[in-house]
Amino acid sequence: MKNNILTENTVAENSTTDNTVAKLQQPSGKFTLERIPKTTKGDLRAWDAADELLLSHVFEKQLKKTDQTILIINDSFGALATALHQYPIHSWSDSYLAHIAAFNNFKLNQLDSNDYRAIPSSENLSQHYSLVIIKIPKTLGLLEDQLSRLKAYINADTTIIASAMSKHIHTSTLNTFEKIIGTTTTSRATKKARLIFSNNDNEKSHPSPYPKTFRDDAHDLTLVNHANVFAKDRLDIGSRFLIEQLGQCPSSKHIVDLGCGNGALGIIASRLQPQARLSFIDESYGAVKSSEQSYKLNNNDKTINANFYTNDCFNQFKAETTDTTDGVDLILCNPPFHQNHSVGDQIAWQMLRQSHEQLVNNGEIWVIGNRHLGYHVKLKKLFGNCKTITSNKKFVVLSAFKSDK
336 and 194 both lie in a single domain: no
Cis peptide before 37 (omega within 30 of 0): yes
Q: DSSP characters for 74-105?
A: --TTSHHHHHTTTS-EEEEESBHHHHHHHHHH
Q: Is residue 72 a part of any domain in this protein? A: yes
184 and 312 both lie in a single domain: no
18 and 123 both lie in a single domain: yes
H helix intervals, 8-139: 49-57, 79-83, 96-108
76 and 158 both lie in a single domain: yes
262 and 164 both lie in a single domain: no
172 and 220 both lie in a single domain: no
Q: Is residue 205 a part of any domain in this protein? A: no
Angle between helices 375-383 and 346-358 (to 10 degrees): 30
- Number of folded domains in the chain? 2
Domain that holds residue 157: 2-198
Last residue of a domain, one of 198, 221, 238: 198
Q: Is residue 298 a part of any domain in this protein? A: yes
Q: Is residue 203 a part of any domain in this protein? A: no
319 and 379 both lie in a single domain: yes
**Close Cβ partners of 51 (under 8 Å, ≥ 6 residues apart):** 24, 79, 80, 135, 163
pLDDT tens for the chain, 405 residues long, are 554 445 555 553 444 434 346 799 988 889 999 988 776 655 678 999 999 999 999 988 866 566 789 999 999 899 999 999 999 999 999 999 999 999 999 999 999 999 999 999 999 999 999 999 999 999 999 999 999 999 999 999 999 999 999 999 999 999 999 999 999 999 999 999 999 999 999 999 999 999 999 999 999 999 999 999 988 788 999 999 999 999 999 999 999 999 999 999 999 999 999 999 999 999 999 999 999 999 999 998 887 889 999 999 998 776 455 454 568 999 999 987 644 544 456 788 889 999 999 999 999 999 999 988 889 999 999 999 999 999 999 999 999 999 876
Q: Is residue 287 a part of any domain in this protein? A: yes
**What are 165's strand-pairing partners?**
193
101 and 240 both lie in a single domain: no
143 and 230 both lie in a single domain: no
Q: Is residue 116 a part of any domain in this protein? A: yes
Residue 247 belongs to a domain with what CATH number?
3.40.50.150
Q: Is residue 324 a part of any domain in this protein? A: yes
173 and 255 both lie in a single domain: no
337-373 burial by CB neighbour count: b if 16+ within 10 A, else e? eebbebebbbbbbbbbbbbbebbeeebbbbbbbeeeb
